[in-house]
Amino acid sequence: MKTLLTLCCTVILLTASAQYHYPSTKMEDSTNTYFGITYHDPYRWLEHIETPVVETWFKQQAIYTDSILNNLNGRDSLMAEWKSLDKLRPSVIGSFAWEGGRLFYRKTLAGENVGKVFYREGMNGQEQLLFDPTSYIPGKTLSVQSIAPSFDGKKLAIAYANQGAEVSIIKILDVDTKQFSQDSIPPSAGFGGWTFDNKSFMYQWIKSADSKDPTSRLSSKTKMHALGGDINNDVDYFSNASYPDLHIDPSVYPYTFLDEDSKNYIFAGEGSVQNEMTMFYAPIDQLNASKIQWQVLCTPADKLVRGLVIKNDDMYAITYNGAKNYKVVYSSLKHPDWSNATTVAAEKADQTIESIAYCKDYMFITYSDGINNFISKYNFGTKKTTEVKLPFSGTAGVNCIDTKSNNCLVDITSWNKPTTEFNYNAETDAFSPSNFNKPVVYPVPYQDIVVEEVQAKGEDGAMIPLSIIHKKGIKMDGSNVCFMDAYGAYGISMTPYFSTRYNALVVRGVVVAVPHVRGGSEKGEAWYKAGYKTSKPNTWKDFISCGEYMVSKGYTSPQKLAGMGTSAGGVLISRAVTERPDLFAAAICNVGCANAMRLEFGSNGPVNIPEFGTVQDSVECKALYEMDGMQHVKSGTKYPAVICVGGWNDPRVVAWEPGKFCAALQNASTSGKPVLMKINYDNGHFTEDKSVTFANFANMFSFVLWQCGHPDFQPKK
């Protein structure tokens, strides 16, 4: 009987495996030896993404994946629901810019896929359309990446991109005539800023717009363009080439800007994933000098992070120097001295400082207890700080459109409260309904969502905050499908907000869990650095601990638990499923860093070295190996169902990262569960185009809900 049972089980396993006939993936012996250790990489050939053989492999994978996803029930209805919820919002208005008495912004009407650019004369003037990206180039799917008016408000720089690619074409629009000038900047990394005479602007020059070229973004430059001039004559304004004495690393993005609230200076800096700022400044009379005498404004040793306010000669910054939960300090531009800076807002034991913003007479300091925000305002004149009493609790943000007035916008949201935007007068502390974005009333099921904030005990005893979102009255018998999503990198917290994407699952009976793992900063700078480089394993171990908590408390079971990690969260999810494949039924690796040892060799990889490390360092190399999901795939293991997603135009995480992870799993897994590679050819790392976004997430979510046994997402008969 035992032999017969074993034979039956074997037949069932082989039958399950046989139902998925993946495109074949060859394995080639490729190795690197670092510090005496040899690392094997049989899928290195997939990194040559520009070659026909690799392009064909991805296309075959995409076709195969679509053939399976297109046969799932529930996917189209989920997409349709997101669209219907989106249409409940009359419009979404953002990207505000105020110059020359004119208000510029992007506005997306209900049901529209991308936003258009508008302006008003004054805050309450008549709205006028300036630019429609949907009709500008017939047949192209464009989206506006940024807008920047000149200081007199008469010209508008518009940077747009195609199909989610993070390279911009920059055009200059005459606001009064609504005509574009002859000035056109070819693909760049974005607009920099205008000069005060409104005759020139700066932009981020890159060598190539090819996201598959690993050298395309190295040694970038800030260039200055004179209106009407030949772009071939544009000046290398700030870069390592023009200022070698500053030792600007080839991986960073050198940037410059002028600030209307501090008109006596030019500012410059180094843009990278490193949170600690590196900035320079010089007197404004050197603006057009052949060689600017840059002075140091701050270095990483000053530990300035999260925000810097410059107002005339005064500077206010957030720092973790001697304050693990952060504090706000003051120094002068005349003699910057951050080591002896004056404390303006002291560290709080139970709250972290998230951001600072300012208007005419006040600076706003936003605190967080990990769930709710609290806002204080600092009076520049009296030097006193008072608390701002918010209309209700939740995640709150302050937007000061016009820094010459005390009128601001404040928005508040939470996991189960839709975003509400208010007009806020900082002088009188009066809140009133916003002139722009109106609150949305969602259907009744969306108004009856329960949120629990708990803490799960981590492997090392650390208590991990965990947000649990579900319908009222769920059974705690392990029968619920649970969708768990986390990030854990760069000090970015999983801040509560009302997500129709999440909540459309909740109303379908899914329990949504959001672990606040180390690598984010929900508990301050120490929480961030505890999931960073050599301490990175805490990130996925925290995720695993939260999954175990959800199972132990009866919210779900391993047969019903799905996990997701996006972008840098690819480290989290790829290592969670390779370390604990038994804990998950399914997983999503969405444009994910799943091959960390090779991350620095991608087009945007070098700039990420400060966060993850480099294989050229003996200690960091070992840490990168620990982070590498592909390196930890073991043949003969029963892995959960996994869908890997790549954006074909993605410069941040090139599609071969999730692609190599998928290839390894397809060749190694013996569970009989599907491992799919979805390629979005109309997308980059993300896209503003909502039709593309809705389809992308509907594919991913329907896949894991199918694999977790949700009755609404089973294959069509």
For residue 215, pLDDT beyond 80? yes
Would you state the pLDDT for residue 274? 94
52-69 vs 656-668: helix axis angle to the nearest 10? 70
Helix H or strand E encompassing 646: strand 641-647
Q: Among residues 373, 567, 562, which one has the least CA distance to residue 488?
A: 567
Would you state the pLDDT for residue 165? 82
Average pLDDT over the chain, rounded to whole?
Answer: 95
Ordered by where they begin, the domains of the chain are 18-83+445-713 (3.40.50.1820)
Map residue 600 onto helix, strand or coil. Answer: helix
For residue 11, pLDDT beyond 60? no
Query: What pLDDT digit, counting tens, does each position of 122-139 carry?
Result: 999 999 999 999 999 998
Q: What is the DSSP letter of 462?
A: P
For residue 10, pLDDT beyond 70? no
Neighbours of 86 (CB within 10 A): 18
Would you state the pLDDT for residue 12? 30
Would you state the pLDDT for residue 1? 33
Q: Looking at residues 440-454, what average pLDDT do you find?
A: 96
Residue 6: pLDDT band by 50, 70, 90 thresholds?
Answer: very low
Would you state the pLDDT for residue 209? 86
Q: Looking at residues 556-571, what average pLDDT do you find?
A: 98
For residue 633, pLDDT beyond 90? yes
CA angle 512, 521, 346 (to 5 degrees): 135
For residue 3, pLDDT beyond 80? no
Query: What pLDDT digit, counting tens, does each position of 450-490 carry?
Result: 999 999 999 999 999 999 999 999 999 999 999 999 999 99
Of the candidate ranges 435-444, 507-516, 569-578, 682-691, the one whose mean pLDDT is the lowest: 682-691
pTM: 0.94
- Count of residues making up the chain: 717
Q: Looking at residues 541-559, what average pLDDT do you find?
A: 98
Would you state the pLDDT for residue 8? 35
What b/e readout covers 40-55, taking b as 16+ CB neighbours within 10 angstroms? Answer: ebbbbbbbebeeeebe
CB under 8 Å to 389, separation ≥6 — which residues?
Answer: 429
For residue 17, pLDDT beyond 50? no
Query: What pLDDT digit, counting tens, does each position of 352-386 carry?
Result: 999 999 999 999 999 999 999 999 999 999 999 99
Residue 571: pLDDT band by 50, 70, 90 thresholds?
Answer: very high
Would you state the pLDDT for residue 29? 87
Query: What pLDDT digit, counting tens, does each position of 314-330 carry?
Result: 999 999 999 999 999 99
Name the token pair of 516. Answer: 């606040």
Q: Looking at residues 262-266, what average pLDDT do you find?
A: 97
Would you state the pLDDT for residue 4? 34
Measured CA to CA, the distance from residue 50 to residue 677 in angstroms comes to 18
Would you state the pLDDT for residue 122? 95
Would you state the pLDDT for residue 261? 96
Q: Looking at residues 388-395, what average pLDDT do you find?
A: 97
Q: In this structure, what are the phi and psi dihedrals at residue 7, rounded to the nearest 5 degrees?
A: -65, -40
Query: What pLDDT digit, counting tens, does each position of 65-107 carry?
Result: 999 999 999 999 999 999 999 999 999 999 999 999 999 999 9
Q: Is 717 exposed, middle or buried (0-12, 13-18, 19+ CB in 10 A)?
A: exposed
Q: Looking at residues 649-678, what average pLDDT do you find?
A: 96
Q: Among residues 683, 581, 679, 695, which one has the least CA distance to residue 629?
A: 581
Would you state the pLDDT for residue 163? 83
Residue 692 exposure: Cα atoms within 13 Å on the Cβ side: 19
Would you state the pLDDT for residue 137? 93
Measured CA to CA, the distance from residue 135 to residue 498 in angstroms comes to 32
CA angle 696, 532, 279 (to 5 degrees): 90
For residue 421, pLDDT beyond 50? yes
Measured CA to CA, the distance from residue 486 to residue 629 in angstroms comes to 16
Query: What pLDDT digit, counting tens, does each position of 21-72 carry?
Result: 999 999 998 999 999 999 999 999 999 999 999 999 999 999 999 999 999 9
Q: How far is CA 120 from the centre of its chain?
A: 30
Name the token pair of 220. Answer: 């970038």
